[in-house]
Amino acid sequence: MATNQDAFAPAPWWSWVFPAAAWVAMLAAYVLGVGPAMATVAGLVLVATVFAAVYHAEVVAHRLGEPFGTLLLAVAVTVIEVALIVSVMIAAPEAKAGLARDTVYAAVMIVCNGIVGLSLLSGGVRHHEQGFQLQGASAALAVLAALTVLTLIVPNVTTSAPGPEFSKAQLAFAGIVSLVLYGSFIFVQTIRHRDYFLPPGDAGEEAHAPPPPKAVALRSAGILALALIAVVGLAKLLTPTLETSLARMSAPKSVVGIVIAALVLLPEGLAALRAARANRLQTSLNLALGSALASIGLTIPAVAAVALFMGMPLHLGLGVKDEVMLGLTLFIGVITLGTGRTTVLQGIVHLVVFAAFLFFAVVP
């Protein structure tokens, strides 16, 4: 979050220069093509733009307050993630039938193990023990478990369609229940039980800083939207180069979904990490778990609608290995976030599971 001085001070030069450079790089790549040099430049600009997006997201979040600020970032990033997945699927329906599944699964693993693990570890190292609202974390984990099982595991045990697919009726049902679950969570988070997602007690000096002026927040919101669009646009341009590089290394195709999810989640991940280090673990968990829920709750209905409307194949069922890793992640999440207090140990456990996820994705 921005401090009192930061809230009213002019935005740093890099917070608008990097997004502008991303748009220039994106347009240049469309015109000139993506060669090795252009791919390198675009990759560097993409990462730099992510840092600018995090800055503006924190300005907007501080203006809106919890949990609306974190919700805005989660939904904004997920909407653009959906646009990226759908555009790639439409370009190659048969070859990309499993892209949505791979990306959503990777997003859940990155969030629940990578981002949460780093946040708990860094926060524990700096503050020894941190607290959060147990009711909010429990609600998020319950919805996350229902969404992941219904959309990523149930397709493997249904009999109406062969393989890891839903029939048309089942796919429509999965999209509807995903929206119902996510919408219900948003209602609870922002209206009915908003206090479950607010920082307990004293959340650090940054929580007491006055919010930035409305004009500053609106400007940051506009630059944030442009930055996120540029990030996804560059990611889409770099996807063919990435696929070629992975093919040369004989890496599984699912690694593409991991890279896409990592790029899209980078702004939220950095914001969550900074919040945990500032002793605002509740904000960190709101960002992390909220982004995982948005990734499934919005992506599955969107790709289901596109698949039904255009008659495209859509593979949602995970393999046995991934089912085990997902089950382990949900089980550990319930345990580590089941007391309302965390230490470095919980962070280490999640990071070890995350390392196992990455290793077995590359070496299946």
pLDDT digits (tens, 9 = 90+) for 263-286: 778 877 888 898 899 888 988 998
* Look-up of token digits 């470095």: 344
pLDDT digits (tens, 9 = 90+) for 229-257: 887 788 778 777 777 877 787 778 778 78
Q: What is the per-residue pLDDT for 2?
A: 42
Secondary structure (3-state) at 341: strand
Closest alpha carbon to 213 in 6, 5, 8, 1 = 8
Please state the three-class secondary structure of 277-337 as a single string: HCCCHHHHHHHHHHHHHHHHHHHHHHHHHHHHHHCCCCCCCCCHHHHHHHHHHHHHHHHHC
- Report the alpha-carbon distance of residue 43 to residue 166 in Å, rounded: 36
pLDDT digits (tens, 9 = 90+) for 169-214: 999 999 999 999 998 998 998 888 888 888 776 444 444 467 788 8
Alpha-carbon radius of gyration of the chain: 20
Handedness of CA 256, 262, 263, 264 (dihedral sign): positive
Tell me what the mean pLDDT of segment 97-114 comes to: 91
Burial of 244 (0-12, 13-18, 19+ CB in 10 A): exposed
Tell me what the mean pLDDT of segment 76-80 comes to: 71
Q: What is the per-residue pLDDT for 201?
A: 61
Tell me what the mean pLDDT of segment 205-227 comes to: 77
Q: What is the per-residue pLDDT for 170?
A: 93
Tell me what the mean pLDDT of segment 346-359 comes to: 95
Q: What is the per-residue pLDDT for 7?
A: 43
Q: What is the per-residue pLDDT for 225?
A: 85
Tell me what the mean pLDDT of segment 136-156 comes to: 93
**What residue ranges define each of the domains in the chain, with the CATH number in brackets?**
4-362 (1.20.1420.30)
Q: What is the per-residue pLDDT for 10?
A: 73
Q: Which of 6-10, 132-136, 205-209, 296-300 has the lowest mean pLDDT?
A: 205-209
- Report the alpha-carbon distance of residue 141 to residue 331 in Å, rounded: 10
Quick check: pTM over 0.95?
no
Asked whether the predicted pLDDT for residue 1 surpasses 50, the reply is no
Cis-peptide, bond into residue 67, ω within 30° of zero: yes
pLDDT averaged over every residue in the chain: 84
For the chain, how many helices (H) and strands (E)?
13, 2
Q: What is the per-residue pLDDT for 67?
A: 65
